[in-house]
Amino acid sequence: MFLLTPSETKIQACIDQLQQRFFKIIRVNTLSEAKEELLAQIPKGSSIGLGGSVTLNDLDILEEFRKEHYNLYDRYNQKDWPATVINMRNSLDADYFVTGTNAIIQDGCLLQMDSGGNRVAAMVYGPKNVIVITGINKIVSSLEEGFERLTRVAVINSKRLNHQTPCNFSGICEDCIARGRICNATTIISSGKRPKGKTIIILINQEVGY
């Protein structure tokens, strides 16, 4: 369904562009190496917020973050939805916000779509540091291709979460206005300059997540 994994030349060119745009890049080969690097970046005692991400689920990091030497805003362990919303709001003031992204544009921009907007909001402003965990399969050639990727991913996520949206049943985006619509907020982050060093991208040499 998705485009082929980009060549090494394209990956390196994309990394160069990201670095020119003031993103810090850490490249690793496996999910286990990504987990190790992630933990190395976050000092003990830090508060941590999370964006909803299949990649983070694959990383199997939650139990580590739940240990007493971190202060995790645990959106996945609340008694009800109102408590979850409060938790996600508190995450906007975290020392570190850990998330995935939906697409990396070849020219060095990050593109992501959200349902409630908490993830895209936190990536732009609020948390002191943002760490993005992503696979090389998220690299695309253009913004147009990135938006096409968002559409395909939204359909897959709607099916995964069993949202009662037209795309869940038809398998294609119908640009609906259904109550369960999950593609409500989209951001393009074109620079990691403000503040410089805020955003670290851990890029895995594998196809990871959707």
Condensed to tens digits (0 to 9), the pLDDT of residues 146-189 reads: 999 988 887 777 777 777 787 778 778 878 787 878 778 899 99
Mean pLDDT, rounded, of the chain: 89
Burial class (CB in 10 A: 0-12, 13-18, 19+), 125: exposed
In this prediction, residue 3 carries a pLDDT of: 43
The whole-number average pLDDT for the span 196-206 is 91
pLDDT of 70 > 80? The answer is yes
- DSSP annotation of 156 reads H
For residue 191, the tally of other CB atoms under 10 A from its CB is 15
Q: Is residue 114 a contact partner of residue 189, using CB atoms and an 8 Å limit?
A: no
In this prediction, residue 5 carries a pLDDT of: 67
pLDDT of 1 > 70? The answer is no
The whole-number average pLDDT for the span 134-148 is 94
Structure tokens given for 113: 């779509």
How far apart (Å, rounded) are the C-alpha atoms in residues 91 and 127? Answer: 7
In this prediction, residue 2 carries a pLDDT of: 39
For the four alpha carbons of 17, 6, 26 and 12, in that order, the dihedral sign comes to: negative
**Exposed e or buried b for every residue in 126-135, given b needs 16+ CB within 10 A?**
bbebbbbbbb
The whole-number average pLDDT for the span 71-94 is 91
CATH of domain 8-204: 3.40.50.10420
- pLDDT tens digits, 32-44: 999 999 999 999 9
Stronger pLDDT, 171 or 77, i.e. the higher one: 77
Q: Which residue has the tokens 């196809």?
A: 207
Among 52, 16, 33, residue whose Cα is nearest residue 25: 16
In this prediction, residue 110 carries a pLDDT of: 97
- Integer CA distances (angstroms), 103 to 12, 69, 144, 200, in order: 16, 32, 11, 15
C-alpha 13 chain-centroid distance? 21
- DSSP annotation of 7 reads P
DSSP symbols for 41-71: HS-TT-EEEE---HHHHHHT-HHHHTSTTSE
How far apart (Å, rounded) are the C-alpha atoms in residues 206 and 136? Answer: 6
pLDDT of 4 > 60? The answer is no
Stronger pLDDT, 155 or 17, i.e. the higher one: 17
Burial class (CB in 10 A: 0-12, 13-18, 19+), 62: middle
